[in-house]
Amino acid sequence: MADEGEVGYDKLIVATGFDYADPGVPGTDLGGLYYVKNIRRAMEWDKVLDGVRQAVVVEASPLGLEMVTALCHRGIKTHLIDPGAWALSVATDPDIVAPVQDSWREKGAELHFGTTLTGFLGDGTVRAVATSDGEIACDLAVVCTKKQANTTLARAAGLRIGSADGIIVDERMHTSAADVWAAGDCIEVPHSVTEIPVQGLSGSHAYAQGKVAGTNAAGGQRTYQPVSVPWGMVAGDWMIGGVSFSETLATAGYDFVVAELQARAPQCPHRLGPVCTYLVNQRDAVLAFALQLDADLDAVMGFAPDAILLPGSFGAASVQQLSAKLAVREANFAVPDGATRIIAVVDAARGVLNLASYRGASARLAGIAWSAASLRAEIGAETGRDPSGAHAGALRLARDLTLLAATAAGVAAIDAAFAAVADAKGLRAEALAARRDGFSAKLASDPGQPRIINQAFAAPGSRRTIGIRRIEHTDP
């Protein structure tokens, strides 16, 4: 311990709480960024707010909703940016938050949905937030990204960490080490429906877990049941709530559920917990993982995934290399030989030029998808669309070549995601065009999209219905 040296223990309870996920963009070292974590920070912050005219809240998480509400009440011009189509889109339905959003707008808030954070700008102190839709000037920014288990101490002590990045405990809150218990936001517990671990819950959960850990550490007997995560909160002029899953997600109709294992910080590479949100009522959905690092394979093979999504695929060689790695892991994890399929994602110019190589590349290849956003960024095209809204230029070529290559290889051709998540009409038109042209699926980038995509692909004459949601994170 700092200043006290080593302190022995007979029984130890770890309750180190959470940290906000690193936004993973430039400028996070600037002053004027607030991560509201406890009452003392909130009290310091209270004084700062007196001089603030304009603020940006990053992400419409539960804490983000509270912050927008509080800043509006304070008379501060507030902007909310979030990649989803509506506030808290991972946990609730649009009709539930519509009155909340209206009440924020009545108080002068500006809501930027379908918008991602790209950086914080300023010289020492933040003066603007950079987003996919341009810059928003501000005096301060409140960062309300996903809650992540604070496991620094637990990792250093060698405690086992689970797939949702929390400390693994049994139903008595006992960790993998003798005489060490853990409770609260630093642990992960199974969800009562899916039995998949979830983390980053609430103070009520932390309290109940703490009672279990304390009782058992003191020699008593108490157990903790899997959770179903009911929630309720004040947002805008309303009190809203729900239980675990929104109707939108429960009825989205995903055929493929893709968990993205994107590592924003090296110490937190795996986030599988959110997958449970998308598997409820859809136990027959195909579970796939988007591969970023080799180490991810070891983390996910225990789940016996149906498929691995391979971003950055450069052609047959990429698929064959992954196939060899899968063969080894299938043997190690007692998964049937060849059961894990591969969906190649063509997201770079080199990948487009090698599309012909997929034919006969591997029996594991289940589909070829293309990504408009990554390609456009690499090419440096100002816009990837013509005035009618259709893909144009090199992007159109990449789309069409993906379709031809998948057809020649005898696998599913999967159209790129539609980025404007709030534009249902545009998505419907693009999904219908994809089906009409011969694609058998379309990637989705928001929980509101699969229903529209599946309707389009279920239209007469379609061959298959596949909605794919790439998940970056959710807050159950």
Ligand X SMILES: Cc1cc2nc3c(=O)[nH]c(=O)nc-3n(C[C@H](O)[C@H](O)[C@H](O)COP(=O)(O)OP(=O)(O)OC[C@H]3O[C@@H](n4cnc5c(N)ncnc54)[C@H](O)[C@@H]3O)c2cc1C
Of residues 140-159, those binding ligand X (CB under 6 A): 150, 153
Among 5, 8, 124, 203, binds ligand X (CB under 6 A): 203
Helix (H, G, I), strand (E, B) or coil at 402: helix
Burial class (CB in 10 A: 0-12, 13-18, 19+), 115: buried
Binding residue count for ligand X, defined by CB under 6 A: 15
Burial class (CB in 10 A: 0-12, 13-18, 19+), 334: exposed
Q: In Å, how far from its chain's centre is CA 370?
A: 20
If the CB atoms of residues 52 and 144 are measured against ligand X, the closer one turns out to be: 144
Buried b (16+ CB within 10 A) or exposed e, 346-359: bbbeebbebbebbe
If the CB atoms of residues 67 and 344 are measured against ligand X, the closer one turns out to be: 67
Stretch of 10-18, 118-126, 372-380, 450-458 contacting ligand X, by CB under 6 A: 10-18
**Three state DSSP letters for 324-359:** HHHHHHHHHCCCCCCCCEEEEEECCHHHHHCHHHHC
- The whole-angstrom separation of Cα 454 and Cα 428 is 10
Q: Residues 92-131 vs ligand X: string with x where CB under 6 A?
A: ----------------------------------------
- The CB density around residue 44, as the number of other CB atoms within 10 Å, is 10
- The whole-angstrom separation of Cα 180 and Cα 173 is 9
If the CB atoms of residues 131 and 150 are measured against ligand X, the closer one turns out to be: 150
If the CB atoms of residues 122 and 210 are measured against ligand X, the closer one turns out to be: 210
Of residues 415-454, those binding ligand X (CB under 6 A): none
CB of 15 to ligand X, least distance (A): 5
CB of 164 to ligand X, least distance (A): 15
CB of 81 to ligand X, least distance (A): 19
- The whole-angstrom separation of Cα 308 and Cα 385 is 30
CB of 258 to ligand X, least distance (A): 28
- The whole-angstrom separation of Cα 144 and Cα 80 is 10
253 is a site residue for ligand X (CB under 6 A): no
Of residues 182-201, those binding ligand X (CB under 6 A): 184-185
If the CB atoms of residues 150 and 318 are measured against ligand X, the closer one turns out to be: 150
- The CB density around residue 9, as the number of other CB atoms within 10 Å, is 8
36 is a site residue for ligand X (CB under 6 A): yes
Tell me the chain's radius of gyration from C-alpha atoms.
23
Of residues 273-312, those binding ligand X (CB under 6 A): none
Among 17, 94, 242, 438, binds ligand X (CB under 6 A): 17
Place of tokens 């059961």: 339
End-to-end CA distance of the chain: 33
If the CB atoms of residues 211 and 325 are measured against ligand X, the closer one turns out to be: 211
* Beta partners for residue 345, in sequence order: 369
If the CB atoms of residues 61 and 246 are measured against ligand X, the closer one turns out to be: 61
If the CB atoms of residues 88 and 285 are measured against ligand X, the closer one turns out to be: 88
Angle between helices 372-379 and 393-409 (to 10 degrees): 130
Provide the residue type at 272 as one letter: L
Provide the residue type at 346 as one letter: V
If the CB atoms of residues 153 and 339 are measured against ligand X, the closer one turns out to be: 153
360 in the Ramachandran plot: left (φ > 0), alpha (ψ -120 to 50) or beta? left
380 is a site residue for ligand X (CB under 6 A): no
206 is a site residue for ligand X (CB under 6 A): yes
Closest CA to 73 of 235, 195, 240, 242: 235
Q: Which residue is nearest to ligand X (CB)?
A: 184
Stretch of 15-23, 53-61, 164-172, 304-312 contacting ligand X, by CB under 6 A: 15-23
If the CB atoms of residues 28 and 202 are measured against ligand X, the closer one turns out to be: 202
CB of 193 to ligand X, least distance (A): 21
- The whole-angstrom separation of Cα 350 and Cα 374 is 12
If the CB atoms of residues 166 and 305 are measured against ligand X, the closer one turns out to be: 166
Phi, psi of 419, deg, nearest 5: -75, -30
CB of 224 to ligand X, least distance (A): 14
If the CB atoms of residues 45 and 333 are measured against ligand X, the closer one turns out to be: 45
Stretch of 9-17, 22-30, 94-102, 379-387 contacting ligand X, by CB under 6 A: 9-17
Of residues 40-99, those binding ligand X (CB under 6 A): 63
Structure tokens at 149: 């288990």
Place of tokens 């195909």: 286
Among 12, 15, 293, 304, binds ligand X (CB under 6 A): 15
Strands 147-149 and 187-190: unpaired
Phi, psi of 450, deg, nearest 5: -55, -40
CB of 192 to ligand X, least distance (A): 18
132 is a site residue for ligand X (CB under 6 A): no
Structure tokens at 5: 């040296």
Residues that bind ligand X (CB under 6 A): 15-18, 36-37, 63, 150, 153, 184-185, 202-204, 206
